[in-house]
């Protein structure tokens, strides 16, 4: 490291510069510390705090925590829009259908909307009442301040249809015809 001190530096100033050289030799992976995909799990709460996430729970899965941090800037930029509400719910691994007051027949009360929220419960987060409350709180923070909403929780069920087939042995008779009769 080159010295920034002038040639007429004092011995005290030169001694103060030595620890700085040692600190500069420590590798600091700043790019990976600001990336929600590469930051160590133990540092995720600090990254969330630095991005001004207003809610954070320790029981959330690592995937949800990383999604929340990943969506923080998008939600902040679009706060007060339906897009911000959708991004907030999607960060929790859920799906939302938004129906605003002017989309209903007859038209509803101005500045209201209805949410149909479906949480998949993936990534180890079961859609408990506490988890749903966390999602609703994220919606409250992302929605327009003047708007009010009603909430309906949907169910995401998956199933499969099994096909059972039995093979029956069939006998085919091969008949050969001569052209002569």
Which pLDDT tens digit goes with each residue over 54-78? 899 999 999 999 999 999 999 999 9
Any domain includes 62: yes
Angle at the Cα of 112 (from 96 to 69), degrees rounded to 5?
Answer: 40
Residue 159 lies in a domain: no
Do strands 94-100 and 148-154 pair parallel, antiparallel, or not at all (unpaired)?
unpaired
What mean pLDDT value characterizes the chain?
Answer: 85
169 inside domain: no
Q: How distant, in Å, are the alpha carbons of 25, 99, 154 from that of 113? A: 55, 6, 16
Residue 38 falls inside a structural domain: yes
- The arithmetic mean of pLDDT across residues 102-128, rounded, is 83
Identify whether 39 is part of a domain.
Answer: yes
- Report the pLDDT value the prediction gives residue 49, as an integer from 0 to 100: 95
Paired with 119 in beta bridges are 94
Q: Which residues contact 101 (CB under 8 A, 6 or more apart)?
A: 107, 108, 109, 110, 111, 112, 113
Number of domains in the chain: 1
> Is residue 71 included in any domain, yes or no?
yes
Domain residues for 93?
29-153
Question: Residue 128 — pLDDT band, cuts 50, 70, 90?
Answer: confident
């Amino acid at each position: 490291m080159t010295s920034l001190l002038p040639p007429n530096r004092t011995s005290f100033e030169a001694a103060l510069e030595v620890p700085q050289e040692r600190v500069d030799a420590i590798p600091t992976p700043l790019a990976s510390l600001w990336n929600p995909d590469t930051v160590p799990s133990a540092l995720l709460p600090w990254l969330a705090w630095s991005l001004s996430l207003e809610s954070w729970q320790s029981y959330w899965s690592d995937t949800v925590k990383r999604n929340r941090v990943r969506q923080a800037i998008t939600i902040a930029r679009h706060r007060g829009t339906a897009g911000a509400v959708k991004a907030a719910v999607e960060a929790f691994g859920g799906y939302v259908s938004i129906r605003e007051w002017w989309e209903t027949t007859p038209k509803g009360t101005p500045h209201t909307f209805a949410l149909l929220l479906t949480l998949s419960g993936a990534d180890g987060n079961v859609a408990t009442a506490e988890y749903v409350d966390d999602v609703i709180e994220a919606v409250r923070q992302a929605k327009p301040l003047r708007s009010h909403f009603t909430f309906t929780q949907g169910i995401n069920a998956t199933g499969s249809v099994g096909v059972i087939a039995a093979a029956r042995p069939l006998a085919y008779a091969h008949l050969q015809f001569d052209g002569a009769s």
